[in-house]
Amino acid sequence: MLKVLLHEMSWTEAKEYFKYNDIAIIPVGSNEQHGPQNPLGTDHLIAEAIAQETAKRTKTLCLQVIPFGVSSHHKQLWGTIYISARTFKTYVKEVCLSLSYYGITKIVIVNGHGGNRCALVEMARELRERKVFATVFQWWEAANKLLPGLFKPEERGHAAAEETSVNLALHPQIVDMNKAVDEEPRKHALQATGITLPLDTVDYTFSGVFGKSTTASAEKGKKVFEVAVKELVEHVNSLKKAKIENLVQRSKV
Ligand SMILES: [Zn+2]
């Protein structure tokens, strides 16, 4: 059976893959509070599962998940491990550049944590300058678009029903639904239209849940997982076909 997980390959097997392929998948996430019912690893565990399943279905190399991300805004709730956006960007970028040494020019980052997004987009722009084309996939954005009626808006927040459902589908043994809560995020006194405030999770909620989490179900989580993997498989397959010269081309004007 063809191996797709880098850490399970020997160097000779990796060499075979790099000889014939120019694409790889890297899951990234965070280790941060997800309410009293979900594991701290929620974001990196979900990213890892989506990335590995996609890798198997498309026979694409998948790296180990990078578990720590840009999460300082969750730190007042215990167990959150956070690194700066700059450190995160540099770390992921250097992993990508290691791959480019072996001829990988197309990279799909499967991101499990919204707080990582800005750093990843900035990194992808920098990599393009180095002739590496990296794309960023976020499962909840895909689910929101492709399964609009599956959850109510208040079930789609951080640690709410949608995220909890995916956890229940993937690893129910580490979710404790007896501890699930519903909490409407508080409004800060300075909140106004067009204003961004540098707030932390504790400024909004006591439990760490943004919205309604008690309606989570494994069945709904499976639907989200399947739709995310399906969308990502299509993306990986079209990226495989694309020519790198066209992805990193310079202006023809
Ligand atoms: Zn999360």
CA of 236 to the centre of ligand 1 (A): 23
Residue 113 alpha carbon to ligand 1 centre in Å: 5
| CA of 38 relative to ligand 1 center, distance in Å | 9
3-state SS of the chain is CCCCEHHHCCHHHHHHHHHHCCEEEEEECCECCCCCCCCCCHHHHHHHHHHHHHHHHHCCEECCCECCECCHHHCCCCCCEECCHHHHHHHHHHHHHHHHHCCCCEEEEEECCHHHHHHHHHHHHHHHHCCCEEEEEEHHHHHHHHCCCCCCHHHCCCCCHHHHHHHHHHCHHHCCHHHCCEECCCCCCCCCCCCCCCCCHHHCCCCCCCEECCCCCHHHHHHHHHHHHHHHHHHHHHHHHCCHHHHCCCCCC
> Is 70 exceeded by the pLDDT of residue 1?
no
Q: How far is the CA of 202 from the centre of ligand 1 (A)?
A: 15
Q: What is the mean pLDDT of residues 27-31?
A: 98
| Digit-coded pLDDT (tens) for 161-218 | 999 999 999 999 999 999 999 999 999 999 999 999 999 999 999 999 999 999 999 9
Residue 243 CA to ligand 1 center (angstroms) comes to: 34
pTM comes to 0.96
Mean pLDDT of the chain: 96
How many A from CA of 163 to the centre of ligand 1?
A: 7
How confident is the model at residue 149, as a pLDDT?
95
Task: Assign 252 a pLDDT band (cuts: 50, 70, 90).
Answer: confident
CA of 60 to the centre of ligand 1 (A): 25
Measured in Å, residue 10 CA sits from the centre of ligand 1 at: 33
The rounded Å distance from CA 114 to ligand 1 centre is 7
